C-alpha cells in the first residue's frame, strides 16, 4: 500500500510541475499574441484594400497591362509556400496547415512527376512533416527561420525572390498555404494564389467591378505607376500572410496551453481523491491489524 501511495504522490508532483510549465507558456503566448494581433489587425484592412485595388485594375484593364506579375502562362512549374511555426505545442495549428498544403500539393501531381514542383518552407514544422513524403520535389528551406525578423523589409526580400522567379519563368504559379487569424481561439488554414495576380472570379464581384469600371488616369504614366504599384502591393500581401500566421500560432498556443492547464487541474483533483482513498485504506488496514492483535492478546 505504501508503494501505491508513493506512486500517486510522484504523479501529483509530476502533474503540478507540468501545470506550472503550461501556465508559464500560456502567459508568454498571451503576451506575444497581443503584439502579433495588433500587427495583423493594423495591417489587414490596408493590405486587403490594396489587393482589391490591384485586382480591379487587372480585371478592368485585362490585356492592357505590361507587368510580368499578371502574365497567365501554361502551368508547368509550380511553387507552393508552406507557412507554419518553428515550434510545436500549439494544438492542431500546424497539422491543419500541413493538411491543406498536402491537398494543394496533390493537385499538381503532373508537375510533381515532371520534377517541376517546388515546396518553399517558412517555419520548421512544415518542412519536418513534408520532407519525406515529398522528397522528390524541390524542397527550398532557405527561409525556414523567417520568423526571427518579421519586419516588412526582411519579409519583402522573400516575396521579391518569389516574384523574380515568377517573372523569369522559373515558376508559372505560386500558391501560399498559411493559418488565417480570426481570434485567439479560431485560426483557419487557407491556400491562396499569390502569383499571377488573380482576376475577379466571383460573379457578384465581377458585376461590381464592371459597374465600377473607371477610365483610370495614370500619373506620370501607366507603365511607371503600375511598375511600382503592383510589386509593392504584392509584397504587402505576402507580409500579411506571414503576420496572419504569426498571430495564429500564438493564439493557438495560448489556447492549447490554457486547455492543458485546465486538464492538469482536473487530473490533480482525481489523483488527490485516489491518494486520499489509498491513504484511508492504509489507515483502515492498520487499525484492523491493531484491533485484531489486541483481540488475540485478550483472548
For the stretch 97-136, pLDDT in tens is 999 999 999 999 999 999 999 999 999 999 999 999 999 9
Measured distance CA(259)–CA(262) in Å, rounded: 5
Single pTM value for the model: 0.85
Residues 61 and 186 grouped into a single domain: yes
The H or E element that residue 39 is part of is helix 2-60
- Residues 17, 124, single domain; the answer is no
Among 233, 223, 155, CA closest to 194: 233
What's the CA dihedral at 3, 8, 14, 16 to 10 degrees? -140
Please tell me whether residues 194 and 269 are part of one structural domain.
no
Q: Give yes or no: residues 64 and 178 share one domain.
A: yes
Residues 139 and 278 in one domain: no
State how many domains the chain has: 2
Residues 160 and 274 in one domain: no
CA distance 199 to 202: 9
Q: Are residues 107 and 239 in the same domain?
A: yes
Is 231 among the domain residues? yes
95: three-class secondary structure by DSSP:
helix
Helix 203-211 with 2-60: angle, nearest 10 deg? 40
- Same domain? 91 vs 228: yes
The domain that holds 18 is classified in CATH as 1.10.287
Give the chain's end-to-end CA distance (angstroms, integer): 29
Tens-place pLDDT, residues 167-223? 999 999 999 999 999 998 899 999 999 999 987 664 445 455 445 555 667 677 667
Judgement on whether residues 226 and 282 belong to the same structural domain of the protein: no
90 is catalytic: yes
The residue assigned the cell 517573372 is 167
Claim to verify: residue 99 and residue 40 sit in the same structural domain: yes
Catalytic residue among 33, 36, 40, 90: 90
Convert the pLDDT of each residue in 18-32 to its tens digit: 999 999 999 999 999
Q: Which domain holds residue 263?
A: 2-23+259-287
The sheet carrying 78-83 orders its strands as 138-140, 117-122, 78-83, 173-183, 186-195
Amino acid at each position: 500500500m505504501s508503494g501505491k501511495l508513493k506512486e500517486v504522490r510522484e504523479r501529483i508532483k509530476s502533474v503540478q510541475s507540468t501545470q506550472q510549465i503550461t501556465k508559464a507558456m500560456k502567459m508568454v503566448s498571451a503576451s506575444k499574441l497581443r503584439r502579433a494581433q495588433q500587427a495583423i489587425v493594423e495591417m489587414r484592412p490596408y493590405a486587403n484594400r490594396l489587393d482589391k485595388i490591384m485586382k480591379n485594375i487587372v480585371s478592368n484593364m485585362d490585356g492592357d497591362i505590361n507587368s510580368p506579375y499578371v502574365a497567365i502562362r501554361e502551368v508547368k512549374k509550380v511553387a507552393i509556400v508552406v507557412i507554419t511555426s518553428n515550434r510545436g505545442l500549439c494544438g492542431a495549428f500546424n497539422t491543419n496547415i500541413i493538411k491543406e498544403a498536402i491537398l494543394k500539393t496533390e493537385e499538381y501531381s503532373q508537375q510533381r512527376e515532371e520534377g517541376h514542383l517546388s515546396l518553399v518552407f517558412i517555419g520548421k514544422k512544415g518542412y519536418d512533416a513534408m520532407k519525406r513524403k515529398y522528397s522528390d520535389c524541390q524542397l527550398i528551406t532557405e527561409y525556414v527561420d523567417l520568423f526571427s525578423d518579421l519586419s516588412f523589409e526582411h519579409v519583402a526580400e522573400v516575396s521579391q525572390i518569389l516574384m523574380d522567379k515568377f517573372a523569369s519563368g522559373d515558376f508559372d504559379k505560386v500558391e501560399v498555404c498559411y493559418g488565417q487569424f480570426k481570434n485567439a481561439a479560431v485560426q483557419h488554414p487557407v491556400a491562396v494564389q499569390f502569383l499571377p495576380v488573380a482576376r475577379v472570379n466571383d460573379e457578384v464581384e465581377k458585376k461590381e467591378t464592371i459597374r465600377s469600371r473607371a477610365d483610370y488616369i495614370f500619373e506620370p504614366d501607366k507603365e511607371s505607376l503600375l511598375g511600382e504599384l503592383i510589386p509593392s502591393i504584392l509584397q504587402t500581401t505576402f507580409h500579411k500572410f506571414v503576420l496572419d500566421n504569426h498571430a495564429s500560432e500564438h493564439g493557438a498556443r495560448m489556447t492549447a496551453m490554457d486547455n492543458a492547464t485546465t486538464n492538469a487541474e482536473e487530473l490533480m483533483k482525481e489523483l488527490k481523491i485516489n491518494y486520499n482513498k489509498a491513504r484511508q485504506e492504509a489507515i483502515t488496514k492498520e487499525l484492523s491489524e491493531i484491533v485484531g492483535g489486541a483481540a488475540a492478546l485478550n483472548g
